[in-house]
Every structure is written in C-alpha cells, then in structure tokens.
Chain A
C-alpha cells in the first residue's frame, strides 16, 4: 500500500491549524475572511507566475519585490496619459525586465538565483535612479477603479483566481505548459528530444513578469504612491507560497492551483498569529519552519 504523504501532511497541518484558528477571537468573521483573501491576493498573483518558473526548472527569482516596485513607479508616473496607457506600460516594463533574465537563464543556463539577486539590485538601483530616491506620486487619476470591490472582495482577488485558472490550464492543456514540466524534469533530456528549451524557459519567465507587473500595478493603485521599498517582503512570501503548495524547487512538478492554496494558507497562518498577538518575527519564523517542513516532505516523496 502506498501512503501518500502530501494529503496526510495537509490533514495533520489542518488538524493543528483548525482548532487554533477557530478558537481565535474574531477569526470566524466575514470581515476577517475578506482580509485574509485580500492579503493573499498580491502575494498569490506573484506566486502563480513564480510557479511556472519553478516548474520549468529555474528555481526562484529573488528580484520579485524590486520588479513590482519598479512597475508601480512606472505605472504611477505615466498615469497622466490615462489608466490604459499606464497599465500597459507597467505590464510591458515587468515583462521586459523579467524576460531578459529568463533569456539568460534559458539560453545560457546561468544560475537563476545568483543572477536574480544581481538583477534585483540592478532593478532596485534603477528605481532609486528613476525616482530620485523620493516617493513617486500618481501623475493622474483613474487608478481608483483598481481598488474597487466586487461582492465585497477586492478586484485583485478575482485577478488572482483568473490567473490561477489560466496558469493551470496552460500547464495542463497547452504544449507550452507541458513542455515546461519536461524541461524542468530533465533539461538535458528535453534538449536531446529537440524541445526548444531556451524558449520554453523564457515563456515561463515572461508569464512570471506579467504576474509581477500586475502585482506592481495593484500595489501602486492601493498605495497611490511608490517608495523604493513598496513591495516589502514580496519575494520571500511568494517563494514560500509556491513551496508550501508542494512545487519542487528542482522543477518538473507542481501546480498553480496548489500554489493558490499555499498563498491562502500563508495568509491564514499570518492572520491567526496576528490575531493572537504574535510579533512579525514569530510570523516569519513560523513561515520559514513550515516551508522547510514541506520541502522535506516533497523531497521524501520524490525520492521513492
């Protein structure tokens, strides 16, 4: 009999988490559920893109926060030309900046982690140069529509759901998506089989850039101005969500829907700890330990 450790681990986690959550004051309220989804939205959107990058075997991008911040600045700065132009230019910035890294990783096989650390600092330096070190204010109106709530939930939540479904469909039903699994599973074999390895990886990064840019646009609309540390711990939170969803960092395995679950799980845990009065430090610590546990489990399962 084969024991599937993933569902067992999830059940154990829920058994621990549920009583803690339910017994927490103000956890079981509609307002809190909304707050959880809203806080999961931005991390989730970035994490969906990061899932594709990880499945295609390029591990993680350490430049997410800086990219989203740069996009937010471009978006706010170009709002004087209207919402549509600003959004398109923001998305273009995110995709171009990210796909350049994807090309270097895809075609030259550069180490993605070290490369994106470098890229993160380059983009961060670029956004300081762009903004002159002062907050970038909205150059026009119209962005308020992005903060609208539909049926009590912010627009970003719907975008997250749509992106998760789109990514899942792409991964399971399109050639490009299935090639991402093959390339991530074994790059040398994929190349030997004649797959366009570089292009497959670049497409995954382009999609990730699009997701990062959407995160940046929503961040900008929500904060109405952008400082250089606007996105905060986005990079690590997104990585944590992808890993908690059980995607293997070595590639070839994972799902966008499970990343969605990972993002919600992180938001729930942060929410419970916050309501129970734990500090930010403890929240980050718990997140890290949990991710470590899931990484160990995923790997043990992969080995058998």
Chain B
C-alpha cells in the first residue's frame, strides 16, 4: 500500500482504538460529549492542517498560516460585533488577499516560499498586534458564540461541520478536477509539470490564496467560539497542524498527499489531544509529547534517513544472499 494511504489510515485506526480503550485507564465510560470535544479540537486545528497540508502537497511550506489565523480571528472580532457573518466574510476575504499576494511573489518572481511566508508571518503578527493594541479583544456577540458551538446530532457543532465541509470541498475539487494531480505534479517535479502543461504560476497563486482563506476561516471560527481574539497564538497551532499534515500522509518533499489523508491526520491528532485531556497530563508534558511526535515524523520523512535505511537493507540482503 502506498504511504499516503497507509500512514493516515494506520494513525487514525491506532488512535481510535486507544480512544475507545481510554475508559480502561480513567474508569469513566466514554460519553458522546467526549467525541463532541474531540471534534471541537478537530475544528480548532483542522483548517490550519488543511491549509498547510495543501501547500506541502505542492512542495511549498506556508509558515504564514499562523499569522493569517491570528489576523483572521482579530478581524472577525473587530468587525463582527454586530454581525458575526459579516466579520467572518471580511476576515476570509483578507485571508484570501494575504495568500494571493504571497502566492504572487512566490509564483511570478520564483522566490522560495519559506522566506516570503516567514517575513509575512512577522508582518502579520505585527498587524494583529497593531489592530488589537497588543491585547486580547473580547467578542461581545454572544448569540454567535453560542450558535457556533451548539451540539448538532449529539457530537457535531456548526464549527466542526464547517471544518468537515471544507475538507469535503477540497476532496471533491482535488479529486474530480485536474487540480489535485496538478498540485502533486508541482510538488513532485516542477519542471516536468511545466513541460506537461501545468500552469504552475497560476496554480501556485491559487494554492496560496486557498491556504490564506482556510487559515483565516479557521482563526475566525476560533475567535467566535472563544469569544475573544489573541494577537499572538504562538507557533503551537502550527506545530499541531504540521503533525496532523505529516500524519495525513503528505511529505515535506512534496508531491504526495490527498485531502482525505489530511482529514484522517487531523482527526487522529484531535482524538489524541482528547485522550491527553482525559488522561489529565500536565500541560508541559502534552507539549513535550507533540514536540516528540513531530520530531519523529520529520525525522522519518527526511530523505537522508531513508537513503541510509535503503543502504542498510541492500547490505543485509547482500549478506543474506
């Protein structure tokens, strides 16, 4: 089986089994509330994981998504006090613009995405601070906060359903149009993709517009749910989104991955977070746990290690023969 199916499938299966077994450790049976909470956790990181995962499929890495996430949340709170929907739409439009501008620089000037998105991250952090005066801003539209987190069918909320819908849209668009194959071609071998007729520049602009839009939507939903926006969420959301994306079967080298895999990765991480919550671990050990998980996944993903393993395997095979 190919790694982009095997990794997310195995990760999700393993975590679901552990999740189902948590009552053995805690002595309290699982309630639908625990599933609801896990899906709320999924809603919190899912869109960010999708945003960063899509850029990774195309061999790029959008560090600015945490900045867009913060700015999106801040804009929603500042402009959505009377109408949350209006605030959310302004935030998403801003996110699309932020993404398109970066995509333009990356595609048309052929600058690597890391320095562009890193500089943009610093600038967006400054923008979020400047918009808020450096403080958390409270969202007073309680009706919207209550609406977005109400339970639907026992385990869902509008927030987690919107997040699931975004994955569904991405899966349909990438699966039923040429876009999915084109993004993988851009990530796998850009020159070959260009020769094969993929409009690389336009696809890259579209890609970064998508990642900006998704990140801003994620931040907007989060700030409505938390009833406040924080100008600096730190890199923690990016850490968890990166774990989700890598468990979702994408590679930092690009050319690999699907929205369905990313969904499995994001769900696995969200369930894992819920297990950690149920286990009442102290905060720093959760942090150590995610850090170790990401470090291990990145190390496994690294080409040098794979080369070494291949060499070792060849040597043992030769020794056996």
Contact = CB atoms under 8 A, between A and B. Distances in A.
A110 B128 contact: no
Contact of A282 (B109, B126, B238): B126
A113 B114 contact: yes
A110 B134 contact: no
A1 to B, nearest CB: 23
Contact of A281 (B109, B119, B131, B283): B131
Contacts of A299: 109-112, 115
A288 B124 contact: yes
Contact of B122 (A282, A291, A300): A291
A107 B227 CA distance: 46
Nearest to A239: B118
Contacts, number: 166
Contact of B125 (A60, A115, A288): A288
A284 B295 CA distance: 29
Interface stretch (B25-33, B176-184, B297-305): B297-305
A109 B304 CA distance: 5
Interface in B130-172: 130-134
A249 interface: yes
Interface stretch (B191-199, B213-221, B286-294): B286-294
Category for how many chain A residues contact B: 35 or more
Contacts of A117: 235, 238-239, 242, 294
A73 B63 CA distance: 29
Contacts of B120: 288, 292
Nearest to B245: A114
Nearest to B285: A125
B61 interface: yes
B252 interface: yes
A119 to B, nearest CB: 7
A236 B295 contact: no
A281 B123 CA distance: 9
Contact of A113 (B63, B124, B127, B295): B63
B291 A285 contact: no
B125 A284 contact: yes
B239 to A, nearest CB: 6
Given A104-B299, A109-B302, A300-B109, A121 B130 contact: no
B93 interface: no
Given A59-B114, A243-B119, 4 more contacts: A114-B252, A115-B298, A117-B242, A118-B295
Interface of A: 59-60, 62, 104, 107-111, 113-115, 117-122, 124-126, 128-129, 133, 236, 239-240, 243, 249-250, 279-289, 291-292, 295-296, 299-300, 303
Interface of B: 61, 63, 105, 109-112, 114-116, 118-134, 231, 235-236, 238-239, 242, 246, 252, 283-285, 287-288, 290-292, 294-295, 298-299, 301-305, 308
27 contacts: A59-B114, A62-B235, A104-B299, A108-B302, A108-B304, A109-B302, A109-B303, A111-B298, A113-B63, A114-B61, A114-B246, A117-B242, A118-B291, A122-B287, A122-B295, A124-B287, A128-B287, A129-B288, A236-B122, A236-B125, A243-B119, A281-B231, A284-B129, A285-B127, A288-B123, A289-B119, A299-B109
